Chain A
């Protein structure tokens, strides 16, 4: 417990990478790269602010060689929201090889963590099998 807390403090300054366009988002997910959990948010969105600490926790626990996280502000990048058919925020999707493989809206932190863990584990397994 103490170790997890220390780790969290050490990484307190790492925040989720901001992405400003659909192209940039797709560049984060080239073929055979790790899955990307994308968080669509907005500066004016209160529920989005509430979910951010949970995402930072997910980043601490699962982000690494097997999972990446990214966030897009839909007001700043409306074309990215449009392209990924995001009509309400907060919204989440998982990208693999530049394609959307899973979509979540209005899900709680437990579901998000489950999705993150599942995709990271699946990718890790794929990496091991291909060796």
Chain B
């Protein structure tokens, strides 16, 4: 599968990358570093509401970066409460438009930095929408409508995905998505978030904490695919802190009112009027927009994604794909970046290491953060069998919450899922609490090293921290038992469907 590093006279480029996001840019820069002649084409088709953005992909522009910044901004509300319990007297107000301006200015600096970096690595950048005209040829259409033809020996599809709108009448005219919320200077006002994905809950979480009336409309369960105990705790926490949940409902119609608001119908009866309706029901890959038929490359029309083998290669040998556009892999920036780098090292550097998509840690940045690596409890029981799985759990609370009257009853939670047949090897780690992402990162490395429950027990905790509870977990989660309490506080019931 190794391609020749020197430019093949028959082609314009050794590698043409479609999509200038996390995966595409990392791959292009890696290939250029190894001497390949590389180009990247990136073009953002405006969202139905008209939002567009610069080079860098979803993460930089309408994903991880603005999301995390706005999430952190929203956490300051509760931190103020903590501070009041520890001697501070503060009075704070928040300006949505100032936050959006500052976040967007930062994103624009990243757009510019991305362009400069491509130039310094001699990667040719086309601000054009690439489509296939043949197995090795692409048409690049820019914003003015002019089309340039290029050829490439290898092509990497890294076009990612976009929010799914679904087909509820009025959805495109009345609703926005995650493509729009981070660029909207006007404050969202009374908001309805449709969906129960992490995108829905993260957005609902920060919009609510920043002072707006938020309702989340959920068809069935929260955070499908994630550990359900913790998903329900996230829902309970959000509800306690002011987010309304409309359960087991789906919108049937949207209409614009005369004063620019959105009237939402459920089962064709009016449900409510909102300033903003944010659709967060999922994302669809962009494979269907590339004219893959011209290259003889099949794709899944429903998901908009492409199937690849363990070398990230499609059914057409010289066409590869990475990132959100590939079927069945975690839709995460670091996954795309790593896969892209490893791929180009294989293509142009003689390397053989393939991308390991297993045990990828992730974090949901809901108001109470949730980090995890490895199996959820449901997944562990399914793949190992109920009898092999043992779950340790603990509730814990950051020290300073005790001094905050608004959250001294709130608890974090953590779970270790172990395999009884392999000396209690840890197969899944879950943490619900502040800075969950930071906590889980180190533990993700431990999982790669084959960490066991005994390692956790032998490890001495750092006191006082939230994470130290991992080193003293003795309570086993059994069917029907209540969750560990903080000595007399309230308790949540574990999700019965785990049994």
Q: Which residues of A contact B (CB under 8 A)?
A: 42-46, 74-75, 78, 82, 87-88
Which 10 pairs, one residue from A and one from B, show the smallest C-beta to C-beta distance? A44-B108, A44-B105, A87-B116, A44-B109, A46-B105, A75-B112, A45-B109, A42-B112, A74-B112, A82-B119
B113's closest neighbor in chain A, by CB?
A88
* Chain B interface SS verdict (over half): helix
Report B-chain residues with C-beta under 8 Å of the C-beta of A78.
115
- Chain A residues with Cβ under 8 A from B109's Cβ? 42, 44-45
* Cβ 8 A contact of A42, one of B107, B108, B119: B108
Report the bound CA distance from A44 to B116 in whole Å: 15
Indicate if the CB atoms of A75 and B108 lie closer than 8 Å: yes
CB-CB contacts below 8 Å: B291-342 with A: none
**Distance, CA A44 to CA B110, complexed state (A):** 10
Distance between Cα atoms of A46 and B105 in the complex (Å)? 8
Q: Convert B80-124 into 0s and 1s, putting 1 for each residue whose CB lies closer than 8 angstroms to a CB of A.
A: 000000000000000000000010111111001101100110000
Q: With CB as the reference atom, state the residue of chain A lying closest to B115.
A: A78
Complex: A45 Cα to B113 Cα, angstroms: 12
Task: Give the chain B neighbours of A42 by CB distance below 8 A.
Answer: 108-109, 112
9 residue pairs of the A-B complex, CB under 8 angstroms, read A42-B108, A42-B112, A44-B104, A44-B109, A46-B105, A74-B112, A87-B116, A87-B120, A88-B116
A residues less than 8 Å from B112 (CB atoms): 42, 44, 74-75
Q: Which residues on the A side are within 8 Å of B115 (C-beta)?
A: 78
B42 CB to nearest A CB, Å: 15
Residues of B within 8 A of A (CB): 102, 104-109, 112-113, 115-116, 119-120
CB A85 to nearest CB in B, in angstroms, measures 10
- Kindly list chain B residues whose C-beta atoms are within 8 Å of the C-beta of A87: 116, 120
> B119 → chain A, closest Cβ, in Å?
7
Give Cα A78 to B104, complex, Å: 19
Question: Who on chain A is nearest to B101 by CB?
Answer: A44
Chain B residues with Cβ under 8 A from A74's Cβ? Answer: 112
Cα-based distance from A125 to B120 in the complex (angstroms)? 40
A88 and B106 alpha carbons, distance in the complex (Å):
13
Nearest residue (CB) in A for B116 is A87
A88 to B115, CA, bound (A): 11
A46 cross-chain contacts in B, Cβ below 8 A? 102, 105
Q: With CB as the reference atom, state the residue of chain A lying closest to B109.
A: A44
Q: How far is the CB of A4 from chain B (nearest CB, A)?
A: 33
Give CA–CA (A78, B120) in the complex, Å.
14
Give complex CA distance A24, B108 in Å. Answer: 25
Contacts of B106 in A (CB 8 A): 44
Question: Distance (Å) between the CB of B286 and the closest chain A CB?
Answer: 26
Nearest-Cβ distance from residue B304 to partner chain A, whole angstroms: 31
Cα(A78)–Cα(B108), bound, Å: 14
Q: Give chain A nearest CB distance to B54 CB in angstroms.
A: 9
Instruction: Give Cα A75–Cα B114 distance, bound, in whole angstroms.
Output: 13
Give Cα A46–Cα B103 distance, bound, in whole angstroms. Answer: 11
Chain B positions within 8 Å of A45 at CB level: 105, 109
**Inter-chain contacts of A88 with B (CB < 8 A):** 113, 116
Specify which chain A residues have a CB less than 8 angstroms from the CB of B107 in the assembled complex.
44
Query: Once bound together, how far apart are the Cα atoms of A131 and B164, in whole Å?
Result: 74
Given contacts A44-B112, A75-B112, A88-B113, could you give 10 more A-B pairs where the C-beta distance is less than 8 Å? A42-B108, A42-B109, A43-B108, A44-B104, A44-B105, A44-B109, A74-B112, A75-B108, A82-B119, A88-B116
Residues of A within 8 Å of B113, CB to CB, are: 88
CA distance A46 to B102 in the complex (A): 8
Q: How far is the CB of A44 from chain B (nearest CB, A)?
A: 3
A88 to B112, CA, bound (A): 9
> Whole-angstrom distance from the CB of A87 to the nearest CB of chain B?
5
Q: How far is the CA of A74 from the CA of B115 in the complex (A)?
A: 12
User: A1 → chain B, closest Cβ, in Å?
Assistant: 35
Cα distance A44–B104 in the bound complex, in angstroms: 8
The listed residue with most A CB atoms (<10 A of its CB), out of B102, B109, B113, is B109
A75 CA to B115 CA in the complex, in Å? 11
A93 to chain B, nearest CB (A): 17
Find chain A residues with CB under 8 A from B120 CB.
87
| Interchain CA distance A100-B106 in the complex, whole Å | 29
